[in-house]
Chains A and B, each alone.
Chain A
Amino acid sequence: MPTITPTSEDTVIYELCVLYPANLSQKEEATLLKEIEGFFSEAGGKQIAKDAWGRRGLAYPIKKEIEGNFVIYHYELDPSKLKEIDRQLHILPNLMRHLIVKPPKGYVITKYSEHYVQWIKDRSTAVETEKKEEEKKLQKKVTDRAKVQAKRAEAQKKETKAPAMEKEALSEKLEQIISDKDIGL
């Protein structure tokens, strides 16, 4: 998708998000969208992109509506005419909410459906990687435990061996002491 840069210095690119109720008839919907687009065309705006999200549940009821339709426009417009458009949008009936935002530099326009698909893909891959990491951790734990056990076993063996050696040494010493080689009788 294209990154957005205004064609001339006098114009700025704006992003308009529009929310209207989901239970409008098709005629009402078409007229509403036409009116919105009409405001911009009157002011000499140039449409760059239009993305309809479709029917979507709202997080809280707005004007007693639980569901709404979102549409996102990108327009190139003279900034001096923005205030008038904002005022007209406020007056429009059937329009629940609208938000005009100036997207930052290097903003890439992506369609909502594509974004959603990408998100689901990322999420599934993230889950897989997490599983793999957990398995790795488990393996490391098992190997570490085995190592510790082996070390302990070795240490125990050494401990058991050492006193035996001492016994031999002791017996030798005892014999040395007992034997009376020095005494020449």
Chain B
Amino acid sequence: MKPQKKQYQKRDQQQTMDPRLKKCPFCAKEVKHIDYKDYPTMKPFIDYFGNIMKRYYTGICLKHQKMMKAAVERARFMGMIAYRK
């Protein structure tokens, strides 16, 4: 395990962030529920075409990704967010 850590540190110094090292922004705030009416919180996790972004790129944990998916799908159904741009 140790040599791997060293590699990551080197990458940090070069300012190229490894996507695997990102931490869940919802866990930091201890979010228990994502509201489908709350567009500003969902916006950063939807790309230009209206797709939900992959967990690998956003760093969300699996628990919160599932909440996010449910919220986005509800908002899409109600016409608040586009299915496809």
Contact = CB atoms under 8 A, between A and B. Distances in A.
To the question of whether A and B form a pair in one complex, the answer is: yes
B33 A17 contact: no
Chain A residues touching B, range: 20 to 34
A59 B79 contact: yes
Given A60-B79, A106-B32, A101 B40 contact: no
A104 B33 contact: yes
B37 interface: yes
A60 B75 CA distance: 12
Contacts, number: 38
Given A72-B37, A104-B33, A106-B32, A17 B82 contact: no
A89 interface: no
Chain B contact patch, size range: 10 to 19
Contacts of A58: 79-80
Interface in A114-131: 115, 119, 123
Main secondary structure of the interface of A (DSSP, over half): strand
A79 B79 CA distance: 27
B78 A19 contact: yes
Contacts of A103: 33
Contacts of B76: 59
- Of the candidates B37, B40, B74, the one having the most CB atoms from chain A within 10 angstroms of its own CB is B37
A115 B77 contact: no
A43 interface: no
A99 B77 contact: yes
A129 to B, nearest CB: 16
Contacts of A97: 77-79
A162 to B, nearest CB: 33
Contacts of A70: 78
Which among B33, B78, B82 has the highest number of chain A CB atoms within 10 Å? B78
Contacts of B38: 115
22 contacts: A59-B79, A59-B80, A59-B81, A59-B82, A60-B79, A60-B83, A62-B79, A68-B79, A70-B78, A72-B37, A96-B79, A97-B77, A97-B79, A99-B74, A99-B77, A101-B74, A104-B33, A105-B32, A106-B32, A107-B33, A115-B38, A123-B40
